[in-house]
Chains A and B, each alone.
Chain A
Amino acid sequence: MNPIRISISVSDPWELGEALQWQPLRGELLQMVSDDHGGRALIKLDDAINYRGSIWRYVVAAPRHQGHEIAGLQTGKKVFGAFTGISDQQGKSSAPLDTNNWRGGLGFIGDVELAG
């Protein structure tokens, strides 16, 4: 199966967008699950983000608004999303999509869609 290529646009926080010069983040969709909040997706970025002294190669995407589904990505929809950076160790673990222990680090809001 061909990898699903995606593109993420950053909206907030401002300082992250400025640091990235508002360029979209490209990456590969590795995993997607459904849940009561519209599902989650694991994305591996092509270029790791250096943010506040840490390197982030993996992010977990979740829909920003109620009633939206991350699975909409597969049908070509743009999904408004919340994105949480996770460690390489978690990204390669058996439960990469669990962000309940998030206590700061890379977190941002934006949107995600299939890369054109």
Chain B
Amino acid sequence: MKQLATTIPGVGEALDAVTLVSPQSSTFDRLLATLSLALSVVTGGTSLNYGAFAGVTRGGTEVIQRVMSRAELVATESSGLLRGGRSGTHYASDAVNSTAGRAQQRLALPHTPELRVTLEVPSGHFSPPSRVQPNFNMLGGGMERTAVGNVPARVLRVAEYRGP
């Protein structure tokens, strides 16, 4: 219903604007909200707007990606919690590179990742993105977010890295 209401000029644009400025929005959310606003200009505000679909306005979820081992995936799926509810800081990204070598370089990881997992988590747990510094003789430069505590997580997609 909220999605249809965005065809009323002004309503959807307001939701896009909220998505653009919300600290809970991912980079991907902001990109789509910008495109949605641009489309509204063309259609005179009668098109559907992304803001109605974004996590920050649908009360609560966002999509992140995390590289992990198969063992961590099992723990995540069985517990329904990010990193299986283990202690320590959770590191994740809005989007991780699709090749293992590139992901390792951009995220400056000391090990080659096995899986790239897309997860749905409640909004509000993760920090805004920060740029990863070079380390472990890796270049860094990727964007990363952090969270602590128990973060409910639903596995949406699993992609296995094949070779470097």
Contact = CB atoms under 8 A, between A and B. Distances in A.
Do the two chains belong together in a single complex?
yes
Interface stretch (A14-22, A41-49, A86-94): A14-22
B69 A13 contact: yes
Contacts, number: 81
Interface in B45-100: 68-69, 71-72, 83, 86-91
A14 B88 CA distance: 11
Interface residues of B, number: 25
A38 interface: yes
A9 B87 contact: yes
A80 B134 contact: no
A17 B89 CA distance: 12
Contact of B130 (A10, A14, A22, A65): A65
B135 A82 contact: yes
Nearest to B107: A109
A92 to B, nearest CB: 22
B91 to A, nearest CB: 6
Contacts of A65: 130-133, 144
Interface residues of A, number: 32
A80 B88 contact: no
A22 B86 CA distance: 7
Contacts of B87: 9, 22, 24
A62 interface: yes
Interface of A: 9-15, 17-18, 22, 24, 37-38, 62-68, 80, 82, 84, 100, 102-104, 107-111
The 10 closest A-B pairs by CB, nearest first: A107-B110, A65-B130, A9-B88, A82-B135, A14-B72, A66-B131, A11-B88, A14-B69, A111-B89, A13-B111
23 contacts: A11-B83, A11-B90, A12-B91, A12-B109, A13-B110, A14-B71, A15-B69, A17-B88, A64-B108, A64-B135, A65-B144, A67-B130, A67-B131, A80-B89, A80-B146, A82-B108, A82-B133, A82-B136, A84-B110, A84-B136, A100-B137, A109-B91, A110-B89
